[in-house]
Amino acid sequence: MEPVPQALLELIKKTAPPESAIVPLSWAFEDEEYNIAIVMPDTVECLEARHIEGRVRDVAMDWDAAHGTVTLCKVWRQYEIARPGVL
C-alpha cells in the first residue's frame, strides 16, 4: 500500500464532521491503494455514521476516478475500532 496523499486526506477532512479523527491506515483489506478510517465519538448513532460514510465515500470515489486509484473509507465509532483491532 502507498501512503495516502495529503490532498485526499484534506478532502476527507473537509467532508467529515469536525469531531471526527481522520486516520490513514497502513494496511489494506484487499487491493485498494488507500485505506482511511474516520473515527467518530460513540455518541454518533449508527444511521448517522452510515450517512457520513456515504458522503466520505462519494468524495473518495471522485478522487479515485480522477487518479485511477481505489480508496477504502470506513466510519468507525470509537467503541467499534477496539473490537476488530482497526487502529
CATH number, domain at 17? 3.30.70
* H helices, E strands: number in the chain: 3, 3
Rounded to two decimals, the pTM is 0.85
Q: What are phi and psi of 13, to 5 degrees?
A: -60, -35
Domain that holds residue 52: 6-80
CA dihedral 20, 24, 25, 30 (to 10 degrees): 100
The answer to whether position 86 is within a domain reads no
Of 14-18, 33-37, 77-81, where does mean pLDDT reach its minimum? 77-81
The answer to whether position 87 is within a domain reads no
- pLDDT attached to residue 47: 94
- How does residue 86 score in pLDDT terms, banded at 50, 70 and 90? low
- In the predicted model, is pLDDT for residue 76 greater than 80? yes
Domains held by the chain: number: 1
Across 13-81, the runs of DSSP E, i.e. the strands, are 21-25, 34-40, 71-77
